[in-house]
């Protein structure tokens, strides 16, 4: 792909990136940061490709190092973001009908709603 | 294994990139956040699997075992971490991502290193490589320092080394020189020198930042890492890396500014304030200390996801005639399963029982009005305290500052709660005319405006959730 085509993609992505997060509640700042952090762990793809193309022992060692680091970023990033977001689960307005998980919380809220 | 055609790979990468956009979009709203994160993880998995089936790769054993080792380290760490330690873990994950990008770029440089004369395309690659190596190592080292600060492995106060300013300027000049060196010569050793300079710069940049501002710096370094990943994508001609990295770089920049604005700070002030001998060095000029202010939407979300909310009404509620608004807010919250109580200080308002009368007028059930002695032990289990137009009755100076006019007055111990939201007209001190330390507490959020106005706006936002 030509350099100019890549530049096109870059510029358009900048605008998309600005647009998607233009309005975020302060409560979600930390999870959003963490989620974005996980996304750039996709450098793992780059680490895999270069490690697959080098042959000297030193270069392979560096490639292994990069692959491990990138995996930690990618996998750990998504898992930790999910843990942060767990606190948003189940506390908000369960449906007035029977809730799937009969937690104490859901039962209490359900009774009030009925 | 090369089993997928170029077109198929491009299309699969496009799907993965769209997943990342949807992930960021989802993460911006409380209801869609968790799903957004899962979509992002799905996109990442698709991207990685596609890569394996699109290229002929050597060293497969090494690659696969690296991924296994990385996952084996990351998953338990991310699962076991305490909620309070999450920011430093994010810093750490961000740092290793930056480090990975820098090493990937160095390896690309080593592949180019033997070439004697470069084509135009290779020149472009060298420029992108120099950028990735430098910024990636800044992010790696800087994140390491933020981790150390948050984990309290080192002081959380700003550290200003003697001669920090000339050192930083010298470092930037050296980084520029080495970057040009990489671009012109394409030698691996110049790239390694650039990486070392980047590591030193990262440390120098973050050391002078105070503990409270560290989250803003993590967000900034996160955006940096995103840009290095984008540059890596340019070098590898990989559109997925390019799109994902750019998205993170752009959204991370916006997020950094939002975070700084919410804390009443500027990004340059955070980074260079201590070097200029400014605010973060810990002066005690009280009036312009940073406070955290929020909008009605933020307060609505905070309340909506709480288990237990205690309202502390004060004179401001009476002045604004906001008793009906608070009653309506209480009803909406209760209909969503949030437990709401009122904590009534004996001298809240301008006469004893002022608040009880006012709230009774708005049909607030008597049982939910709690006296001070009754409510004080309950703050420890309270998620959010909503202080509506009260100040002195929650001012910790009554316990901590012997000289204060209200010293010795029993107060509502709202600082025991998880979060405190103040609805205030301005930063003016309360009736007793003394500064309230609680306003500057990290768990405190301020919503400025007339109490009735603010409550109505919060109510509207709450109903929209």
- One digit per residue, the tens of pLDDT, for chain B of length 465 reads 788 888 999 999 999 999 999 999 998 887 888 999 999 999 999 999 999 999 899 999 999 999 999 999 999 999 988 665 777 898 999 999 999 999 999 999 998 877 778 888 888 899 999 999 999 999 999 999 999 987 878 876 778 888 888 999 999 999 999 999 999 999 999 999 999 999 999 999 999 887 657 778 999 999 999 999 999 999 999 999 999 999 999 999 998 888 777 655 678 877 887 766 543 333 333 456 778 888 899 999 999 999 999 999 987 887 788 888 999 999 999 999 999 999 988 767 655 566 777 787 788 887 788 888 889 999 999 999 999 988 888 888 888 877 666 677 778 999 899 999 999 887 766 555 677 888 888 889 999 888 889 999 999 999 888
B272 contacts: CB under 8 Å, gap ≥ 6:
B208
For B48, which residue in chain A has the nearest alpha carbon? A45
B293 forms beta bridges with B446
Inter-chain touch A35–B78, beta carbons under 8 Å: no
Rounded CA separation B267/B143 (Å): 16
Please give the helix or strand (H or E) that residue B424 lies within, else none: strand B419-424
Q: Return the pLDDT at B221.
A: 95
* The predicted structure's pLDDT at residue B83: 60
CA distance between the termini of chain A: 60
Interface of B with A in 348-407 (CB under 8 A): none
> Please, where are the H alpha helices in B186-304?
188-206, 214-236, 239-262, 267-272, 296-304
Interface test with B, best of A69, A86, A93, A111 (most B CBs within 10 A): A69
Degrees, nearest 5: CA angle B170-B172-B177: 95
* pTM summary value: 0.69
- Token readout for B166 is 């000339």
Would an 8 Å CB–CB cutoff place A13 in contact with chain B? yes
Could you read off the pLDDT tens digit of each residue along chain A, which spans 114 residues? 677 889 999 999 999 999 888 777 666 777 888 999 999 999 999 999 999 999 999 999 999 999 999 999 999 999 999 988 876 544 333 333 333 444 444 444 433 333
Cβ <8 Å between A38 and B37: yes
What's the order of all strands across the beta sheet hosting B384-388? B369-371, B339-344, B308-313, B384-388, B419-424, B444-448
Chain B residues with CB inside 8 Å of A105's CB? 307, 337
B66 Cβ contact list (under 8 Å, min separation 6) = A51, A64, A67, A68, A71
Q: Which of A64, A72, A43, A48 is nearest to B230 (CA)?
A: A43
Burial of residue A95 (number of CB atoms within 10 Å: 0-12, 13-18, 19+): exposed
Q: What span, in angstroms and rounded, lies between the C-alpha atoms of B274 and B160? A: 7
B158, B208 in Cβ contact below 8 A?
A: yes
Handedness of CA B405, B408, B410, B414 (dihedral sign): positive
- Which 8-state DSSP code applies to residue B420? E
Share of chain A above pLDDT 90, in %: 52
Placement of tokens 């559109």 in the chain:
B239
Q: Is the CB of B241 less than 8 angstroms away from the CB of A45? A: yes
**Closest CB from B229, B259, B307 relative to A42:** B229
Determine the pLDDT at residue B290. Answer: 78
Question: A54 — contact with chain B (CB < 8 Å)?
Answer: yes
Torsion of CA B99, B104, B110, B115, to 10 degrees: -130
Contact A85, B37 (CB under 8 A): yes
Residue B141 near residue B198, CB atoms below 8 Å = yes
Sign of the alpha-carbon torsion through A18, B233, A37, B137? negative
Gap between the Cα atoms of B105 and B118, Å rounded:
17
Cα within 13 Å of Cα(B369), Cβ side: 21
Residues of B in contact with A21 (CB under 8 A): 24, 28, 251, 254-255, 258
Please indicate if any CB of chain A lies within 8 Å of the CB of B458.
Answer: no
Strand-pair partners of B446: B293, B422
Kindly list the distances between the CA atom of residue B131 and the CA atoms of B180, B198, B355, in Å, as whole numbers in the listed order: 10, 10, 62
Query: How many cross-chain Cβ pairs, A to B, lie less than 8 Å apart?
Result: 377
Residue B153, token pair as written in the block: 């492995």
Catalytic residues of B: 392
Residue of chain A with shortest Cα separation from B90? A34
Token pair of B319, please? 């002045």
Residues of B in contact with A43 (CB under 8 A): 97, 100-101, 104, 228-229, 232, 241, 245
Provide, as residue numbers in chain A, all residues whose Cβ is less than 8 Å from the Cβ of B249. 14, 17
pLDDT at residue B292 in the model: 85
Nearest Cβ partner of B93 from A22, A68, A73?
Answer: A73
Q: Decide if A61 touches B, using CB distance below 8 A.
A: no
Q: Helix axis angle, A43-51 relative to B214-236, nearest 10°? A: 40
């Amino acid at each position: 792909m030509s350099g100019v085509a890549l530049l096109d993609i870059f510029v358009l992505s900048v605008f998309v990136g600005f647009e998607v997060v233009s309005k975020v509640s302060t409560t979600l700042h930390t999870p959003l940061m963490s989620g974005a952090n996980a996304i750039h762990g996709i450098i793992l793809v780059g680490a895999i490709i270069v490690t697959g193309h080098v042959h000297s022992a030193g270069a392979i060692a560096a490639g292994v190092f990069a692959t491990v680091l990138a995996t930690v970023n990618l996998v750990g990033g998504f898992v930790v973001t999910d843990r942060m977001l767990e606190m948003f689960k189940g506390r908000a307005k369960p449906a007035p009908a029977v809730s799937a998980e009969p937690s104490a919380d859901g039962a209490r809220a359900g009774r009030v709603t009925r | 294994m090369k089993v997928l055609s170029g077109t198929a790979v491009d299309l699969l990468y496009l799907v993965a990139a769209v997943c990342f956009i949807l992930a960021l979009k989802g993460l911006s709203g409380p209801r869609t956040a968790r799903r957004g994160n899962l979509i992002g993880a799905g996109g990442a998995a698709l991207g990685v699997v596609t890569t394996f089936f699109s290229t002929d790769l050597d060293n497969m054993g090494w690659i696969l075992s690296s991924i296994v080792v990385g996952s084996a380290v990351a998953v338990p760490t991310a699962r076991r971490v305490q909620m309070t330690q999450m920011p430093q873990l994010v810093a750490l994950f961000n740092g290793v991502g930056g480090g990975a990008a820098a090493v990937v770029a160095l390896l690309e440089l080593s592949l180019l290193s033997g070439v004697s004369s470069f084509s135009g395309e290779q020149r472009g690659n060298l420029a992108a490589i120099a950028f990735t190596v430098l910024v990636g190592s800044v992010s790696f080292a800087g994140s390491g320092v933020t981790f150390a600060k948050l984990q309290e492995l080192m002081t959380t106060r700003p550290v200003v080394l003697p001669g920090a300013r000339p050192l930083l300027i010298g470092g930037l000049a050296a980084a520029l020189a080495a970057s040009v060196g990489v671009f012109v010569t394409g030698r691996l050793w110049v790239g390694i020198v650039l990486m070392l300079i980047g590591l030193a710069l990262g440390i120098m940049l973050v050391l002078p930042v105070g503990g409270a501002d560290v989250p803003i710096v993590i967000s900034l370094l996160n955006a940096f890492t995103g840009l290095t990943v984008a540059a890596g994508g340019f070098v590898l001609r990989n559109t997925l890396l390019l799109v994902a990295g750019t998205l993170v770089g752009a959204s991370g920049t916006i997020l950094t500014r939002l975070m700084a604005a919410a804390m009443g700070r500027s990004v340059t002030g955070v980074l260079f304030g201590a070097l200029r001998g400014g605010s973060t060095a810990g002066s005690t000029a009280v009036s312009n200390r940073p406070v955290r202010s929020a909008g009605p939407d933020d307060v609505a979300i905070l309340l909506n996801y709480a288990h237990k909310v205690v309202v502390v009404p004060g004179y401001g509620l009476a002045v604004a005639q906001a008793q009906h608004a608070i009653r309506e807010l209480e009803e909406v919250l209760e209909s969503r399963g949030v437990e709401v109580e009122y904590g009534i200080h004996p001298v809240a308002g301008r006469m004893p029982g002022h608040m009880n009368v006012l709230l009774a007028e708005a049909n607030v059930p008597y049982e939910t009005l709690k006296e001070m002695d009754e409510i004080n032990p309950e703050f420890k289990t309270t998620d959010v305290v909503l202080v509506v137009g009260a100040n002195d009755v929650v001012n910790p100076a009554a316990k901590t500052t012997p000289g204060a006019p209200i010293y010795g007055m029993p107060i509502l111990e709202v600082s025991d709660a998880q979060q405190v939201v103040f609805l205030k007209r301005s930063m003016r001190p309360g009736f007793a005319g003394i500064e309230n330390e609680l306003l500057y507490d990290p768990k405190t959020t301020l919503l400025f405006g007339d109490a009735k106005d603010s409550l109505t706006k919060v109510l509207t936002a709450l109903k929209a959730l």
